[in-house]
C-alpha cells in the first residue's frame, strides 16, 4: 500500500475491522515497523481506508492480503480468503486485476478464486485478470524494502500474467514471472518449508550437542565460516510468526490428495513443535540445581514477540512458554520493549504489562528466560543481576555458572 502511494497511485485500503480503519483515518499506525508519519504521508497523497466494499469498483487492481491460518485439525482455513473474495464479487467490473498474496496451497487460485471471480459473468483472461503473487517481507530487517525484494507472479492465463507483471512492475525493482498460479503458490511454500526443515534440523542438533556438552551456537558459527555449501540456521524455543509454523502444513494437506506423504516436512514440524517442552525441561532442571521447583517460582520471560525487534505476536513460542510455566504453577511476568501490554489474543490470555528492566527488578526473579533476544535489552546488565538465566537464543556466548543454554 505505502509503496503504491509513494509512486503516485491512488490507494484504497479495505478492512472489516472498524478500529483499524479509524486508526488509519487518524493517521495512526497499528504496526510497529510502519510509522505513523508514513501513514500521514500516504493520506496526503490520497490514501483512504474504508469498510465500505461497494467502493471496490473504483479500483483497477484488487490485492488480497488476508490471513490463511490452520484450524484445530492442522488443516488449511481459507475462510478469510473466500469470505473476502465473496465480498468483492458483487462489485467486480471489466478491466480489473485481482491478485491473491496470501500464502496457500497450490490450486487455491484456480480452484477457489477463479470460479468466484467468473460467477458474475466476467471472463478471466479476457475482461478481468487473476494472478497469485505471494507476499515477501522480513519485518525488522533494514536491509530489504518492499521495492527491493523480488516479487514472484503467476497468472491464470498468459494475459493475466502480463497484467500482473505490469501491476507489480510499477513498484517492485524485479518481478519474477512463473508459468502458473500453482507454481507461484508452491514457490512461497517451498521458501518457508526450506526454513522450517532447516530450523528443525538445527533444533535437533541442539539437543544432541547439549547431551555432548557442546555449544551448538559455537558449532554453527564455526560451520558458517565455510564459504560454500553451508547456510547458517539457528535454533530457538520454537517457531513463530504467520508463515513458518503454518505454511508447511498447507502442502502436507494438499499432498495427501495426490497420495504423497511429506515425511521431511512433518518430521521438522514435530521437532519444532517440541521445542517449548524442551525449554521447559531445561528451566525445571536449572531451578532444580538451586533447589527450587517451577511451582511457586517467579519467572521473567524476556521477549514475547515471535522474533527479535518486532511487535508481532502471531504464533509466538514465548506465549506458549508462558502458558506452560503458568500451568506448572510458576508466577510469570514478561518484559518486552515492543509489547508494552499483553494484547488480546484469540487463544491466549494474560492480564500483564511489560516489566521495566532494572537491576532491582531482575534480582527479584528466580529465573529469567531469554525467549526473544531484542537488541533493546541490556544483556550485560541482565547477566550481572539475574540469579539464573535460561538462554533459548544463544545470545550469551561466554559460559557462566548461572547461565543455562536451552
Supply the DSSP symbol for 130. E
Q: Tell me the pLDDT band of 143, cut-offs 50, 70 and 90.
A: confident
pLDDT tens digits, residue range 86-141? Answer: 999 999 999 999 999 999 999 999 999 999 999 999 999 999 999 999 999 887 77
Q: What is the pLDDT of residue 346?
A: 73
pLDDT tens digits, residue range 212-243? Answer: 999 999 999 999 999 999 999 999 999 887 77
DSSP letter for each residue of 57-118: GG-SEEEE-----B-TTS-B--HHHHHHHHHHGGG--TT-EEEE-S---TTHIIIIIHHHHT
Residue keyed to cell 555449544: 215
Architecture of domain 2-179: 3-Layer(aba) Sandwich (3.40)
Q: Tell me the pLDDT band of 283, cut-offs 50, 70 and 90.
A: very high
Domain ranges of the chain: 2-179, 188-271, 275-405
Q: How far is CA 3 from the centre of its chain?
A: 21
d(CA 383, CA 362): 9
Q: What is the pLDDT of residue 191?
A: 95
pLDDT tens digits, residue range 286-327? Answer: 999 999 999 999 999 999 999 999 999 888 999 999 999 999
Q: Which among 322, 355, 349, 319 has a CA at the least distance from the CA of 337? A: 355
Q: What is the pLDDT of residue 85?
A: 96
Residue keyed to cell 488480497: 64
Q: Could you tell me the three cell numbers for 239?
A: 517457531
Catalytic one of 5, 153, 243, 367: 243
Report the predicted TM-score, pTM, of the whole model to 2 decimal places: 0.90
Do domains 2-179 and 275-405 share one topology? The answer is yes
User: Catalytic: 153?
Assistant: no
Architecture of domain 275-405: 3-Layer(aba) Sandwich (3.40)
What is the CATH number assigned to the segment(s) 188-271?
Answer: 1.10.1040.10
Amino acid at each position: 500500500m505505502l509503496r503504491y502511494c509513494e509512486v503516485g497511485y491512488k490507494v484504497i485500503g479495505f478492512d472489516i475491522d472498524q478500529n483499524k480503519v479509524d486508526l488509519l483515518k487518524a493517521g495512526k499506525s497499528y504496526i510497529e515497523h510502519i510509522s505513523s508519519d508514513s501513514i500521514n504521508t500516504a493520506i496526503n497523497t490520497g490514501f483512504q481506508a474504508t469498510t465500505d466494499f461497494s467502493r471496490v469498483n473504483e479500483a483497477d487492481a484488487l490485492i488480497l492480503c488476508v490471513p490463511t491460518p490452520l484450524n484445530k485439525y492442522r488443516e488449511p482455513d481459507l475462510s478469510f480468503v473466500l469470505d473476502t473474495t465473496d465480498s468483492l464479487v458483487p462489485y467486480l467490473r471489466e478491466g480489473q486485476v485481482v491478485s491473491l498474496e496470501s500464502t496457500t496451497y497450490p490450486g487455491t487460485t484456480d480452484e477457489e478464486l477463479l470460479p468466484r471471480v467468473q460467477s458474475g459473468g466476467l471472463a478471466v483472461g479476457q475482461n478481468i485478470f487473476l494472478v497469485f503473487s505471494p507476499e515477501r517481507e522480513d519485518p525488522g530487517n533494514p536491509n530489504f524494502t518492499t521495492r527491493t525484494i523480488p516479487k514472484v507472479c503467476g497468472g491464470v492465463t498468459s494475459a493475466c500474467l502480463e497484467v500482473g507483471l505490469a501491476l507489480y512492475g510499477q513498484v517492485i525493482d524485479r518481478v519474477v514471472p512463473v508459468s502458473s498460479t500453482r507454481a507461484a503458490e508452491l514457490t512461497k511454500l517451498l521458501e518457508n518449508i526450506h526454513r522450517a526443515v532447516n530450523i528443525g534440523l538445527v533444533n535437533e542438533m541442539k539437543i544432541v550437542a547439549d547431551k555432548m556438552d557442546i555449544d551448538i551456537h559455537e558449532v554453527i558459527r564455526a560451520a558458517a565460516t565455510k564459504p560454500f555449501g553451508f547456510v547458517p540456521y539457528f535454533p530457538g524455543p520454537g517457531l513463530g510468526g504467520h508463515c513458518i509454523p503454518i505454511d508447511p502444513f498447507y502442502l502436507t494437506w494438499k499432498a495427501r490428495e495426490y497420495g504423497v506423504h511429506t515425511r521431511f516436512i512433518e518430521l521438522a514440524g514435530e521437532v519444532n513443535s517440541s521445542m517449548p517442552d524442551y525449554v521447559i525441561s531445561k528451566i525445571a532442571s536449572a531451578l532444580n540445581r538451586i533447589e527450587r521447583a517451577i511451582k511457586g517460582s517467579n519467572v521473567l520471560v524476556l521477549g514475547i514477540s515471535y522474533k527479535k525487534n518486532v511487535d508481532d505476536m502471531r504464533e509466538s513460542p514465548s506465549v506458549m512458554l508462558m502458558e506452560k510455566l503458568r500451568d506448572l504453577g510458576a508466577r510469570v511476568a514478561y518484559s518486552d520493549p515492543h509489547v508494552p501490554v499483553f494484547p488480546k489474543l484469540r487463544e491466549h490470555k494474560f492480564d500483564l504489562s511489560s516489566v521495566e528492566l532494572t537491576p532491582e527488578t531482575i534480582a527479584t526473579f528466580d529465573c529469567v528466560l531469554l525467549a526473544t533476544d531484542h537488541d533493546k535489552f541490556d544483556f550485560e546488565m541482565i547477566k550481572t543481576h539475574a540469579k539464573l538465566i535460561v538462554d533459548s537464543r544463544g545470545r550469551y556466548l561466554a559460559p557462566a555458572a548461572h547461565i543455562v543454554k536451552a
